[in-house]
Amino acid sequence: MIARDPHHQGMIRSLQGMRFLGSFAFGSVATVRILQLESVGVTAVAIGSLMAGYSVLVGVVEIPSGAVADVWGRRRTKLISLAVLILAFTAFGLANSIGTAALALVLLAIGRALASGPMESWFVDEIGDPHHPTVLAGISAAEAAHNVGTALGAVVGGLVPWLLTGSTTGSNVFGPVFALAGLALVADAVITMRQMKETVSTPAGSVGGVWRTTFVGVKVTLDAKVSRWVAAVLITYGALNATVELLTPLGLSAQLGKDSAALWFGALVAVAWLLSAFTATQAPKIASLAGSPARATGIGTLLLVALTIPAALASWVGPAGAYIGLNTVGGPLIPLLATIIHRQVGSAHRSTAMSTLNLSFMLGATIGSAMVAALDRTAVFVACAAALASGWGLLRARPTG
């Protein structure tokens, strides 16, 4: 149950608001950014190269970005990330060549990486005790807000260009989506400036600069056996996500045709994200029933395996069911994993630890995509075997909290 303390409730609402607005912005832009590049004449090969470079850059910037928040402060880093993201969306909206498109993606990668850790780290620092029930309750509520924001953003991102078709031509049809995303980030900045107050003194930067904090923070994060198994779970969860997200639309397209596949996959995504938002709010209850967040995560990972195996079936029904199951169980899994890590690290390395987890998930997603390209549906069994091992390993790690 969410804490009754008014101050804690206020922080949870602030965290939810920031996560919702940021996720809405990303969800809406993700829907149209490829179409925007295509509409200004960037070739499919160039788009693929740009997106590959973007993914690499996000990974490169991700780890030191957490240390930036640890050293410079959560609030300042969050505001810098919002400024960079607003510039990125502006560049996207004005893009008219491969050069401006590349600039937009570079800014987007940097802004995304900087935004990945400060909010949650600020929240845990302000609560003061990572074992406090409010921590898991707040992170779970924020994860639900993230899911709803992403789903709503995706709907708006697809609907606005459709409504403007006929009255607006060329790439201008996508401009309002980037404008709406920018306005959402402006609202996010207002909440950040007004509500994200750093009233607790933290030892951020005490180990000596961003780069030293990066190396020390990663080492501290992965020193404990439990933390290493958490990273392993996130890698395999990323791989499971990638395999199912690729196989589901491909299965729908093969059996229903491209036009029908797009419609049904859109509906499937909406249902899955909403279910994920609901189950995310149940993370505290799930942890209580299991005995600890770590045990709940271990059991949940084993459940993921059972729900993902149908994605290997030739019919589209198996992958579609796996997509819903994966997101339903994944809803509480992310806040549970984050809570475990917050209990393992101190304030000085909290954002670096979150960046380490984000990079683990991204690494797993990259591996999953590569496996689908090489093994097709057999990739499901490989990813499930790895998830089974990581979930069992986390259960056997015998965490204390």
Contact (Cβ atoms closer than 8 angstroms) between residue 312 and residue 318: yes
Q: What is the pLDDT of residue 2?
A: 46
For CA atoms 260, 169, 184, 62, the dihedral sign is: positive
Q: What is the pLDDT of residue 340?
A: 92
H-only helix segments in 309-376: 317-342, 350-375
Higher pLDDT, 188 or 398: 188
Residue 296 has pLDDT above 80, yes or no: yes
Q: Which residues contact 196 (CB under 8 A, 6 or more apart)?
A: 14, 18, 74, 75, 78, 119, 122
| Maximum average pLDDT range among 101-110, 154-163, 170-179 | 101-110
Residue 107 has pLDDT above 90, yes or no: yes
**Cα 85 from chain centroid?**
16
State mean pLDDT over 112-116. 86
Q: What is the pLDDT of residue 3?
A: 45
Q: What is the pLDDT of residue 16?
A: 95
Query: Confidence class of residue 150 from pLDDT cuts 50, 70 and 90?
Result: confident
Lowest mean pLDDT, pick from 132-141, 186-195, 342-351: 342-351
The pLDDT tens digits for 165-192 are: 665 555 567 888 899 999 999 999 999 9
Q: What is the pLDDT of residue 288?
A: 93
Q: What is the pLDDT of residue 299?
A: 92
Q: Which residues contact 62 (CB under 8 A, 6 or more apart)?
A: 113, 116, 355, 358, 359, 362
Q: Which two tokens stand for residue 295?
A: 């045990």
State mean pLDDT over 331-357. 89
Query: Confidence class of residue 392 from pLDDT cuts 50, 70 and 90?
Result: very high
State mean pLDDT over 219-229. 86
What gap in Å lies between CA 243 and CA 266, rounded to an integer?
17
Lowest mean pLDDT, pick from 24-28, 218-222, 297-301: 218-222
Exposed/middle/buried for residue 199 (C-beta within 10 Å: 0-12, 13-18, 19+): exposed
Percent pLDDT > 90 in the chain is 39
State mean pLDDT over 186-211. 78
Higher pLDDT, 259 or 378: 378
Q: Which residues contact 384 (CB under 8 A, 6 or more apart)?
A: 240, 305, 308, 309
Q: List the beta bridge partners of residue 168.
A: 165
Q: What is the pLDDT of residue 258?
A: 58
